[in-house]
Structure 1
Amino acid sequence: MAGKGKTTFGKSSASWLPWLGLALIILIADQFAKVLIVGYYRLGDSTYVTSFFNIVRAHNTGAAFSFLHDAGGWQRWFFTGIGVAAALFIIYMLRKHAGQKLFSFAMACVLGGAIGNVIDRLMHGYVVDFLDFHWRGMHFAAFNLADAAITLGAICLILDELLRVKRGK
């Protein structure tokens, strides 16, 4: 039985709340940026920023790199379901492992990004992308702050695992 001030996982509920706060900051920044893009840009508009970076408005009905973007519509609910399931699992993992700082940072980044993209899919039927990096005429797939947070989280998860394995030797 959990004691006073404890969660069912034996950790103080306050120990995982800062990670939820980080996820919320990521979510707010992502959604604020997307509101600005939708408010000031039409689909396909682009603003030159540097020789390798533009601000654009793009819509992605698929996943990363527009995977399944032309699948006929079912992917909206498929990726929304994956995002919701991932968010629930991440919250469980944050509660269980809140004391593991790098792991929890990674999970919070993925959580904030996943929820940001789920909100887009529910509101619009697509994800709003606006960061366009390019070099010598080749463009990387446009992405958003949620995607960047998910990528940062994935990199940190890999680093966390490598460090864990190294400590175990």
Structure 2
Amino acid sequence: MKPSRRLLTLNIVVVVLAVVLDQVVKAIVVATMPLGEMIPIMPFLALLHARNTGIAFSMLAGLGPIELAGLAAVVLVAVLWLWVKTPPDRKLTHFALAIVVGGAIGNLIDRLVLGYVVDYVYFHTPVWSFAVFNLADSFISVGAFLIVIDEFLLAPRKEAALARKGRPGEGN
């Protein structure tokens, strides 16, 4: 079953908005904060202008930007294939895949244009610090979380409700 034109349009709008928002925020960070500058927001949160030459949590930082961009492109194609295979009634998954794709494209643009990804969100405590990340990373993480929620919680509940509805004497 193919997605409706309306769903396809909505998905494209979400992807474009995610990419534009990500790139605008990164441009503001680059234009207003010197590399390495940290601006405390809360005791555990700061803006920190950083460059990530690897992938999530700086893994594979030893690979060059072209290799990482190629890897990101392969993953993006795989996600797009999954997206095409997702039934149109799985609207949460469609939205989640749209923000994942938007985040992936945002970081891919950085890799191809800059050779690294601009990061700026820094969670930390005096004794512990989390990786520095960006809005595109958040889109990817939240999208993945929503897909898991839809796949393992919402879809099974919907299928169970439909199965109950179809049994004679139960809800008919």
Identity %: 34
User: Which of 67, 70, 73 is matched with 1:78 structurally?
Assistant: 67
Counterpart position of 1:114: 104
Preserved CA contact (<8 Å) 1:11 1:96: no
Segments of 5+ residues of structure 2 without an aligned counterpart are 161-172
Count of residues in Structure 1 that have an aligned counterpart in Structure 2: 158
Question: What CA distance in whole angstroms lies between the structure 1 residues aligned with 2:115 and 2:6?
Answer: 35
TM-score by length of 1: 0.84
Structure with max Cα Rg: 2
Counterpart position of 1:63: 55
User: Which of 4, 7, 17 is matched with 1:15 structurally?
Assistant: 7
Task: For 2:133, give the aligned amino acid.
Answer: F
Question: Does residue 36 of structure 1 match 2:28?
Answer: yes
Question: What CA distance in whole angstroms lies between the structure 2 residues aligned with 1:92 and 1:68?
Answer: 25
Deviates more, 1:41-50 or 1:124-133: 41-50
User: Which of 128, 133, 137 is matched with 1:143 structurally?
Assistant: 133
Deviation at 1:96, TM superposition (A): 4.4
**SS state at 2:133 partner:** coil
TM-score by length of 2: 0.83
